[in-house]
Structure 1
Amino acid sequence: MSLDLSVESLRPKSSRPAGEESGFARFAIVFTNWSERWYPDSFVFAALTVIGVAAALALGSKPLDIANAFGGGFWSIITFTMQMVMVVVTGFVVATSPPAARFIDWIARAPRTARGAVAFVAFVSMSASFLNWAFSMVLGGLLVQALARRGDLRMDYRAGAAAAYLGLGATWALGINSSAAQLQANPASLPKSISDITGVIPFTETIFLWQSMVMALIILIVSVLIAYFSAPSAATAKTAEDFGIDLTPRPSVTFGPSRPGEWLERTPFISLALAALGFGFIYNEFATKDPLLAISNLNTYNLLFLLIGLVLHWRLGSFLGAVSKAVPSTSGVLIQFPLYGAIALMLTGVKGADGFSISHHIANLFVSLSTQESFPVLMGVYSAVLGFLVPSGGGKWIIEAPYVMQAAKDLGTHMGWAVQVYNAAEAIPNLINPFWMLPLLGVLGLKARDIVGFTFIQFLLHIPLVLFLLWFFGRTLLPG
């Protein structure tokens, strides 16, 4: 029995004769339509995790202690929250700069076929995501538009959009801007509930493990191949024109006559002066510290991207315009991450009648169900399921780390690999969760239902691949 993966198989039943679609394609469409209609805002799922209150009460915790933990933890990770906001802003600013736009138009000339164009977008997006996931999405989206303007390709616009999303759905958490790895490497941002268990874990023990880098490379190659073979040919592609999307390039910022007070916004002098100060600091950081330690500092990382964006935009007016456009994409981070801090303290700081917290009992459950070899698989499945319910961009590590890492410590598994297990598994549900798609869909003028059929194929094949890699490479890090 063969599977029909053509674009026709992904169209709704109303546009095709009944019974013509494959079962696999029908299931993908049913899931996409259901998700678009019924899936609530991600904040609702984050808020529902306060059902931990019921668990705390069941353990005999006092209601006032639970409320105090909620209020006390709400602002406990405000530094980390703002760091994640800056990841989004700086990535957007760099990707939308005039030099980046010219670079995108240049590389868009490379693909020669419609399917090759989709695969090319996947490669570019996933490669960029190792540096910054927001940058990869915006860069991928603008590349899709540039390719769609090439009338000689007839690239499927939906497949291209899905490929642009793969940076966030496949590889970002294994790169430098991994929230969990960054948090673990920064003592200033690491909550006491985690640091007491793990201490500081440097990048050399997480994203720069050779096992992690090989796993990331395998996932990238496989994802590009899936994007290529699942993309419709030019003959059956549905283009941006078919969607009625205007791809006329937006004019760059122009500076005509203005009032004298606006002169400072239109001259590069202030931008260059600020950049010179910032790059002086960056130089000193890398000159006086181990480069891996310097780049693992999330504040330094964000400042570097911000300075690059400032220089690429050249004038303050252009730079500030890009920042303004980026801010709406940060709303989910701003409202959800403080809630994660509150929930984390309820799970770790509130004691039950037996003198132990909820996180202690969950850690014991992990230990009782796992062995050193099976822990990566069990934790990977758990993290992927929770990642679908609570799409956090790594923020839910604040909640999970205390009991997950305690279990890893009790089992004697490699602590850095436990972080990477979380990272690899947390990216998987992004492939079918519409929350993180929103910025990309806004750039491309599509809806989640238009691309989830393609990302769903990636999702189905990533699950067994990632879980196998986590188990296989985890075995190489076992003691003895």
Structure 2
Amino acid sequence: MFKKFTNGCVYVMNKYLPDAFIFAIVLTIITFIGGVTLTGQSPFQMILHWAGPKGFFGLLSFTMQMVLVLVLGSAMAQAKVFKNLLKKIAKAAKTPVRGIMITAFVSVVACWINWGFGLVIGALLAREIAKEVKGIDYRLLIATAYSGFVVWHGGISGSIPLQVANPGALEKVAPTIFDGTFTIATSNTIFSPMNLFISGIIIFGLPFVCKAMIPDKEHTVEVDPALLVEKEARSEDASKFSPADKMERSKILWIITLAFGFVYIVYNFTQVGLNLSLDFVNFIFLFVGVLLHGNLRNYIDAVNEAAASAAGIILQFPFYAGIMGMMVGANPETGISLAGVISNGFVSISNNVTFPLFSFLSAGIVNFFVPSGGGQWAVQAPIMMPAGHALGVDPAKTAMAIAWGDAWTNMVQPFWALPALSIAGLNAKDVMGYCVITLLFSGIIISAGFLIF
């Protein structure tokens, strides 16, 4: 029964889900229509929100960060030492069941520790397992690698729980309620009993859910060997190197470069511990990649090869920034935005028991159109935090409801899947059917967590 339902989800997504870029265009049109009809703004006002300073080019910095996550992570993985490590893990799989479960566990744990690291490592491990294990469904394998991302906002790199732990963060969204000194410690968010309950069940349950989705031989789609073909290492004759060639392979320049990078990496770890920003994760990817490749020329070649896979991110992220601009763009007369309409709708039907659950569900809906943790907080916190306070709800629980809603519907939102799909050589429709199951499983666990605690 479960496999039939899974196969049905896969069939529907594969047949009706368009390319990720077309999905972004459809969301743009839906948001535009919703803004005009629900906020009383003119079509021209919505266009201005779409293309304005907080619109189309509002995610340029974040777009570059994500391009670097993909390119630097992939370049690092091309090093022989790193490939051999992934191969050793992959060889332990041996069977499709073990391959799926290992991928799920590694991915979900890595994403809980740091989402940028987990997003790339899960996809790279999945590719290696596809090479080693015969008879494994490649679509499910990549979907499994991506599914671990569902826990990121409840993990130690979650942007909302880390943000509210800083003085002044809550005052910005609700100045009439919180002063500049009020903070919410991570012991009440990330490491609270409720969050550990939700995270723990998903982390240990996801491998078994993914195992249950393994299709029978009739429905199994193995990897196209062409997707796993790797560029052969160039044979080089050192005797023919020009002075420029020798400089590119100079161990002295390589060591100096590494010294600059690793001095700062060690310093940063001593200052902030495991609280890794996305910029610092990219910094680590870069210098570990330089180290593993052995010289600067090899690393340059690896980056050149990896850069071609970033096309989807470069094309689509500006359109999602435009969608965010229309979601948060308010009517100048009433101050109403489309995101506000959605959030206020859920607030109006809530009480002190159901408010965290409805905050989570509303955040899940808004996340389709604002798939960014920081953007999600900026959109919903000014509405949800005061409403939760008025109902007597713990502000830590309200903040985590927004955080988990932001993470939850990423399972059926191609935005965050783009790096994994680029590494895998697949389209969104190939994996989203399986991710629907992860969405349902995690949705039940998260909802139960908010109602039980």
TM-score higher than 0.5: yes
Comparing both chains, which one has the higher relative contact order based on Cα–Cα distances under 8 Å and sequence gaps of 6 or more? 2
Q: Distance in 2 between matches of 1:69 and 1:250?
A: 41
| Identity %, equivalent residues | 26
Greater CA deviation, 221-230 or 131-140? 131-140
The answer to whether structure 1 residue 401 and structure 2 residue 381 are counterparts is yes
Q: Distance in 2 between matches of 1:439 and 1:65?
A: 30
Determine the structure 2 residue equivalent to 1:162: 143
Once the two structures are TM-superposed, the CA of residue 281 in structure 1 deviates from its matched residue by: 3.1
The answer to whether structure 1 residue 251 and structure 2 residue 221 are counterparts is no
Counterpart secondary structure, 1:155: coil
Q: Distance in 2 between matches of 1:246 and 1:83?
A: 25
More helix by share: 2
TM-score, normalised by the number of residues in structure 2: 0.79
Q: Distance in 2 between matches of 1:306 and 1:291?
A: 19
Q: Distance in 2 between matches of 1:313 and 1:78?
A: 29
Q: Distance in 1 between matches of 2:319 and 2:426?
A: 25
The answer to whether structure 1 residue 279 and structure 2 residue 262 are counterparts is yes
Count of residue pairs the alignment pairs up: 442
* Matching residue's letter, 2:407: A
The answer to whether structure 1 residue 452 and structure 2 residue 432 are counterparts is yes
Q: Distance in 1 between matches of 2:167 and 2:311?
A: 29
- 1:368-412 deviations in Å (ceiling 9; x for gaps): 322232122112222223334554466444333332333334334
1:316 paired residue among 296, 299, 303: 296
Q: Distance in 2 between matches of 1:406 and 1:129?
A: 30
1:137 touches 1:165 (CA, 8 Å); kept in 2?
yes
2:397 paired residue among 417, 425, 428: 417
The aligned runs of 1:190-205 (5 Å cut-off) are: 194=173, 196=175, 203-205=186-188
Q: Distance in 1 between matches of 2:163 and 2:248?
A: 36
1:117 paired residue among 99, 113, 120: 99
- 1:275-306 deviations in Å (ceiling 9; x for gaps): 3233333444444x4636xx255544543444
Determine the structure 2 residue equivalent to 1:224: 207
- 1:224-253 deviations in Å (ceiling 9; x for gaps): 1011122136x5573536x45464444346
Once the two structures are TM-superposed, the CA of residue 219 in structure 1 deviates from its matched residue by: 0.5
Once the two structures are TM-superposed, the CA of residue 119 in structure 1 deviates from its matched residue by: 1.1
Q: Distance in 1 between matches of 2:429 and 2:50?
A: 40
Q: Distance in 2 between matches of 1:164 and 1:91?
A: 15
The answer to whether structure 1 residue 26 and structure 2 residue 5 are counterparts is no
Q: Distance in 2 between matches of 1:193 and 1:85?
A: 30
The aligned runs of 1:123-272 (5 Å cut-off) are: 123-150=105-132, 153-168=134-149, 170-181=150-161, 184=164, 194=173, 196=175, 203-232=186-215, 238=220, 240=222, 243=224, 245=226, 247-252=228-233, 256=237, 257-272=240-255
- 1:418-453 deviations in Å (ceiling 9; x for gaps): 333233233333333344434333433434443333
The answer to whether structure 1 residue 346 and structure 2 residue 329 are counterparts is yes
2:20 touches 2:428 (CA, 8 Å); kept in 1?
no
TM-score, normalised by the number of residues in structure 1: 0.75
* Matching residue's letter, 1:154: G
Q: Distance in 1 between matches of 2:268 and 2:184?
A: 19
Q: Distance in 1 between matches of 2:303 and 2:163?
A: 24
Indicate how the Cα distance of structure 1 residues 26 and 374 shifts in structure 2: closer, same or farther if over 3 A, else same: same
Q: Distance in 1 between matches of 2:46 and 2:132?
A: 62
Q: Distance in 1 between matches of 2:341 and 2:147?
A: 36
The answer to whether structure 1 residue 41 and structure 2 residue 23 are counterparts is yes
* Matching residue's letter, 2:158: S
Greater CA deviation, 96-105 or 75-84? 75-84
Q: Distance in 2 between matches of 1:461 and 1:311?
A: 40
2:100 touches 2:144 (CA, 8 Å); kept in 1?
yes
Computed over aligned residues only, the root mean square deviation of the Cα atoms, in angstroms, reads 4.1
2:38 touches 2:341 (CA, 8 Å); kept in 1?
no
2:248 touches 2:297 (CA, 8 Å); kept in 1?
yes
* Matching residue's letter, 1:417: K
Counterpart secondary structure, 1:303: helix
Determine the structure 2 residue equivalent to 1:17: none
Counterpart secondary structure, 1:369: coil
Determine the structure 2 residue equivalent to 1:14: none
Once the two structures are TM-superposed, the CA of residue 128 in structure 1 deviates from its matched residue by: 2.0
Indicate how the Cα distance of structure 1 residues 360 and 125 shifts in structure 2: closer, same or farther if over 3 A, else same: closer
Tell me, which stretches of 5 or more residues in structure 1 are unaligned? 6-21, 476-480
Once the two structures are TM-superposed, the CA of residue 218 in structure 1 deviates from its matched residue by: 0.9
Q: Distance in 1 between matches of 2:96 and 2:119?
A: 20
Q: Distance in 2 between matches of 1:387 and 1:307?
A: 33
1:99 paired residue among 59, 76, 81: 81
1:148 touches 1:239 (CA, 8 Å); kept in 2?
no
Q: Distance in 1 between matches of 2:26 and 2:105?
A: 33
Q: Distance in 2 between matches of 1:38 and 1:82?
A: 19
